[in-house]
Amino acid sequence: MQDFNISVGEREHSKQLLNLILDDEFLLLIHMNYDLHESVLGSITKMTQNKHLSSINLTKILKGKRPILYGWTFESASDTGPVLYDNIESTKNGSFSALKITLGDRKNILYNCREHINRLRQELARRFPRSVLQESFLVLFDPDYLLQHKEHISSNEYGRSALNVLRKKYKNFTDFDFNSVRHKWGSFKALLSACPSVSL
């Protein structure tokens, strides 16, 4: 049922809103951000909200997401996320479903998308920098990591470089006894090797 009480101004505002929604750049950015959330940011955000956050799981998921971001070069439609690609292909004739749209400068729009992704990669690198010390603690003491690499623990080389990182980091601490740490780690390592395998 039509509402005849709508003013001319309200009709004009509705028309302007529709034109904004059907703006080519707006639609492309919406689809890009959908890809970004579904393929990268959604799982990272969910994991960081977990109060029992595991450093190994966070490291693993970041390692898996970075190649996705580096693969989105936006140099062509195929170098984008799947939803954005479908939108580019389905609207290249100037129609969005049954609605007409005016195509913008897509080369420039994709350039802006690439710049957005570049800034995101820089921000992820700033917030989650690689830490050799953290990785060393991970190798030596993280339960998830140890279980996943149990078949390598019996090797004489396992943990040696990580212990060396700790030695260099804490060598000037007066109460730090590297030989004691090394012997205790050796005993701990022997116990881990003797434990039955656990399926995760």
DSSP string for 136-156: HHHHHH-HHHHHHTHHHHTST
pLDDT cut 90: percent of the chain above it = 28
Per-residue confidence (pLDDT) for residue 1, from 0 to 100 = 45
Which stretches of 59-136 are assigned E, i.e. beta strand? 95-96, 99-100
Closest CA to 180 of 167, 190, 169, 168: 167
Query: Please, which residues bridge with residue 99 across strands?
Result: 96
How far are the Cα atoms of 11, 108, 126 from residue 16, in angstroms, in the given order?
9, 24, 40
The model's pTM is 0.67
- 69, 117 Cβ separation under 8 angstroms: yes
Task: Take residue 27 and report the two structure tokens written for it.
Answer: 């639609």
- CA 53 vs. chain centroid, Å, equals 15
Is 79 a residue whose pLDDT tops 70?
yes
Q: What is the pLDDT of residues 143-183, one digit of tens each?
A: 778 888 888 888 888 888 999 998 889 888 888 888 888 88
- One-letter amino acid at 105 equals D
Q: How many residues does the chain have?
A: 200
**How far is it, in rounded angstroms, from Cα 161 to Cα 167?**
10
User: HEC states along 11-59?
Assistant: HHHHHHHHHHHCCHHHHHHHHHHHHHHHHHHHHHHHHHCCCCCCHHHHH
Using pLDDT thresholds of 50, 70 and 90, give the confidence band for residue 200.
Answer: very low
Is 125 a residue whose pLDDT tops 80?
yes
**Segments making up each domain of the chain, as ranges:** 8-130, 133-194
Higher-confidence position of 20 and 94: 94
Task: Take residue 51 and report the two structure tokens written for it.
Answer: 């109060």
